[in-house]
Amino acid sequence: MMELIPAIDIIDGKCVRLTQGDYTQKKIYNEYPLDVALAFENIGIKRLHLVDLDGAKQGKIINYKTLEKIASKTKLNIDFGGGIKTNEDIESVFGSGACIATIGSIAIKDPDLFLNWLKKYGTEKLLLGADVKNEKVAINGWLETTNVSIIDFIKTNITNGINTVFCTDISKDGLLQGPSIELYKKILSAFPSLNLIASGGVSNLSDIEELKQIGCSGVIIGKAFYEGLITLDDLKKLAAC
């Protein structure tokens, strides 16, 4: 069974979506993220992907209050990312109610710190995020592309004990033109036992089915929901399967 993980991206405390990671292409969908989270919970969704886009851009967590509010008012298992850079940050994320901390940039910029977190919290409490542009990992809210290939990045972290990764192809994100199937096939071919969560480009139910067929263990659903291409009823039926 593939896990459905709707996303809420936050800027200025509001639910937004970007296009291809471009902060100038911001669209506000709801000023009250808690209402969106409650709608997901009410149809049987168990997991939420909550992203602090302000935090990702500024390199420090900004939207603590949104995390606290959703965590205290719902029973959703929240994975939270964006701006987690220090020991104090990750402690605050868990203290604010997140079940899982989503880590991306630090795994590239300070792998020793990330390894310490793995040892301290365990792999079940950390979700490794790999944002990709032309198969190279991007960091700092997608604003900087590294020379590290996605395959090498995953290989290094599997060695460190990671077994779950979510991967976003920035070129697909927000365009509603389908996910990066070939990229995911390549990753799963290299790492058959990896739990791969697909993110970016999902535009309809057929995309979700195709990701399931190629072996993805989960899918993050964002803009397709907010634009009405995948409805709450659709998610309810899928969640019940």
The reported pLDDT for the residue numbered 173 is: 80
- Confidence grade of residue 216 (pLDDT, cut at 50, 70, 90): very high
pLDDT at 142 over 70: no
pLDDT at 140 over 80: no
The reported pLDDT for the residue numbered 240 is: 85
CB contact set of 173 (below 8 Å; sequence gap of 6+): 18, 19, 20, 21, 199, 200, 201, 222
Structure tokens at 110: 């300070």
In sequence order, what DSSP letters do the residues of 89-158 get, joined into one string?
Answer: HHHHHHHTT-SEEEE-HHHHH-HHHHHHHHHHH-GGGEEEEEEEETTEEEETTTTEEEEEEHHHHHHHHH
pLDDT at 39 over 90: yes
How does the average pLDDT of the chain come out, rounded? 94
The rounded percent of the chain whose pLDDT value lies above 90 is: 85
Q: Where are the domains of the chain?
A: 3-240
pTM attached to this predicted model: 0.94
| From 9, 52, 54, 79, active-site residue | 9
| From 79, 131, 173, 234, active-site residue | 131
The reported pLDDT for the residue numbered 141 is: 62
The rounded percent of the chain whose pLDDT value lies above 70 is: 99
Q: Judge whether 22 counts as a catalytic residue.
A: no
Pick the CATH number of 3-240 from 3.40.50.1000, 3.30.70.141, 3.40.50.920, 3.20.20.70: 3.20.20.70
Residue type, 198: A
Q: Judge whether 169 counts as a catalytic residue.
A: no
Mean pLDDT of 197-225: 96
The reported pLDDT for the residue numbered 165 is: 98
- Confidence grade of residue 72 (pLDDT, cut at 50, 70, 90): very high
The reported pLDDT for the residue numbered 20 is: 81
